[in-house]
């Protein structure tokens, strides 16, 4: 896990106005990301992981947080309940818990923490928020997009005034047809300034790079290893 600077922690909560109290900010991020660990929240909203665990236990007793330990191995994760999501003010309902998605969700959160210090003033938009916004726009044309075939919310995005960087975190390989569909969707997404596709596997990075070149998108899509300090572990 990468520890963010104080600025990164502030930017994580950035959204205009005064930041919410730490328990509400923690519930907001739990709702936005779906699942997080005490390590994430201790670095972002509390003075360390132990303090985060204590506060999360309080929130669990109040019915605002669900604690989900792994059966075999991995980090304990936390989710917002329906009451917690409502209290968070994130504008989202509680996330469904899908155990096989947890490694990917935690990796995306780790990547977000690693990237924010590199983009001063940036705001991280989660996949859940992107999907919500895409659903709201379903019955009207997507602004700044020239390709058909529906939407493709990335795993997250870094937003700055006039700059939108889509982030993909790829832990397992997809079918080539699916990658081609996604790349062509990005080719038509005129509002996206850059796509950064993070893969821990060198073989998958090579495969994606070939597909990117084939589609002529070298100037839009960058395929990269995971940021330094980000580790992907099993969960279950």
Contact 102, 135 (CB under 8 A): no
pLDDT at 233: 82
Residue extents of the structural domains in the chain:
6-102, 110-224
**Tens of pLDDT along 136-190?**
776 554 445 555 455 789 999 999 989 999 999 999 999 989 999 999 999 998 8
Residue 91 zone, left/alpha/beta (φ > 0; ψ -120 to 50; rest): left
Average pLDDT, the chain: 87
Between 13 and 193, where is the model more confident? 193
Residue 61 has pLDDT above 90, yes or no: yes
Both tokens of 188, joined, read 């038509």
Residue 38 has pLDDT above 60, yes or no: yes
Three-point CA angle 21, 27, 33, nearest 5°: 130
**Tens of pLDDT along 105-115?**
999 999 999 99
pLDDT at 129: 95
The model's pTM: 0.87
Strands 194-198 and 221-224, how do they pair?
parallel
Fold of 6-102: Arc Repressor Mutant, subunit A (1.10.10)
């Amino acid at each position: 896990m990468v520890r963010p600077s104080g600025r990164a922690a502030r930017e994580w909560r950035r959204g205009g106005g005064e930041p919410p109290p730490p328990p509400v900010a923690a519930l907001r991020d739990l709702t936005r990301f779906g699942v997080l660990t005490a390590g994430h929240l201790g670095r972002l909203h509390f003075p360390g992981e132990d303090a985060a665990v204590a506060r999360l236990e309080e929130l669990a007793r109040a019915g605002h947080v669900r604690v989900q330990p792994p059966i075999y191995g991995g980090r304990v994760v936390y989710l917002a309940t329906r009451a917690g999501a409502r209290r968070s003010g994130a504008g989202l309902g509680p996330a469904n818990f899908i155990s096989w998605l947890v490694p990917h969700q935690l990796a995306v959160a780790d990547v977000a923490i690693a990237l924010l210090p590199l983009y001063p003033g940036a705001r991280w938009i989660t996949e859940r928020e992107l999907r919500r916004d895409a659903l709201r726009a379903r019955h009207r044309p997507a602004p700044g997009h020239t390709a058909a075939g529906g939407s493709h919310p990335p795993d997250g995005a870094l937003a700055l005034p006039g700059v939108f960087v889509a982030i993909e975190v790829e832990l397992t390989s997809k079918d080539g047809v699916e990658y081609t569909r996604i790349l062509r969707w990005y080719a038509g997404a005129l509002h996206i300034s850059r796509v950064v596709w993070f893969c821990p596997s060198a073989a998958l990075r090579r495969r994606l790079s070939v597909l990117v070149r084939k589609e002529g998108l070298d100037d839009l899509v960058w395929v990269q290893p995971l940021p330094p300090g980000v580790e992907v572990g099993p969960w279950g």
